[in-house]
Amino acid sequence: MATTTTIAPTRMELMKLRRRISLAQKGHDLLKEKMDALVMEFFNVLGRIQDARGKSLQQLSNAHRALTKCLALTGTLETLEAARETRRGAQIEISTRFIMGIQVPTVEAGKIERGALERGYDVLLTSSSLDDAAREFEGALKLLVELAELEASAYALAGELEKTKRRVNALEYIIIPGLKAALKFILMRLDEMERENFTRLKRIKAMLEERG
């Protein structure tokens, strides 16, 4: 370890090291707890995503089927024209909340479903298949908005999880072992110095006895 060569083997350093190790250990435990909580939250969101995805994609394919039918029945141009004339009022409410200190958006669909007359295209010039398509798409959008919230949460959680995991691993596999190695080095070195001192004293004693 690089740290062992630069460390002065003194009792002062030993005490400092012991303090640092206990701090790193404490930090590691706390981060690990945070990671566990994040994983739980992450899987909770994942389960909900799976549901929401299935539902919204099903609804979306229904919507596309209705739209295709409408394109066939009323003609492409008329349909696209009507789509362009539609009133553009869809709004969503977004606020942010915090899961374990991570900012996560909460998306709520406002009033998306509308009656045929509220949509703004000319009801007289279009067929009921357009109304069907619009209704299906409104339903799909509502579900998609929910899905968007979940996916954004999942991405935010995953990002934080990755960061936390990297920190936990750095502490667990690099910092703490490095500190422990340094601690061991100092202990060995101090023991060695003590033994050296002991033999030196013995030797001096023997020399003194010889002379005296």
First vs last C-alpha separation in the chain: 49
Binding mask 18-47 for another protein (x = CB under 8 A): ---------------------x--xxx-xx
Note whether 86 binds another protein by CB under 8 A: yes
Which amino acid would we find at residue 47? Answer: G
- Least Å from the CB of residue 78 to another protein: 11
SS3 at position 103: strand
CB 61 within 8 A of CB 53: no
CB 165, CB 29: distance < 8 Å: no
Q: How far is the CB of 170 from another protein (least distance, A)?
A: 15
Chain-centre distance of CA 41, in angstroms? 10
* Cβ–Cβ < 8 Å for 78, 125: yes
Interaction between residue 59 and another protein (CB under 8 A): no
Q: Per CB under 8 A, does 4 bind another protein?
A: no
Residue 108 phi/psi, 5-degree rounding, is -125, 130
Q: Is 99 in the site for another protein (CB under 8 A)?
A: no
Q: Which residues contact 149 (CB under 8 A, 6 or more apart)?
A: 105, 106, 107
* Count of beta carbons in the 10 Å neighbourhood of residue 140: 22
- Considering only 14, 145, 175, 182, the residue that binds another protein (CB under 8 A) is 145
Q: Which is nearer to another protein, 7 or 136 (CB)?
A: 136
* Residue number, 46 or 100, with CB nearest to another protein: 46
Residue type, 122: D
- Scanning 13-21, 155-163, 177-185, 204-212 for contacts with another protein by CB under 8 A, the matching segment is 155-163
Nearest distance, CB of residue 188 and another protein, angstroms: 36
- What's the CA gap between 45 and 157, in Å, rounded? 9
Residue 33 has a CB neighbour count (10 Å cut-off) of: 11
For the CB of residue 163, give the shortest distance to another protein in the complex, in Å.
Answer: 10
**Does the protein bind another protein through residue 183 (CB under 8 A)?**
no
**Residues engaged in binding another protein (CB under 8 A):** 39, 42-44, 46-51, 54, 57, 60-61, 63-64, 67-68, 71, 79-80, 82-84, 86-96, 103-105, 107, 110, 112, 114, 119, 130, 133-134, 137-138, 140-141, 144-145, 147-149, 151-152, 154-156, 158, 161-162, 165
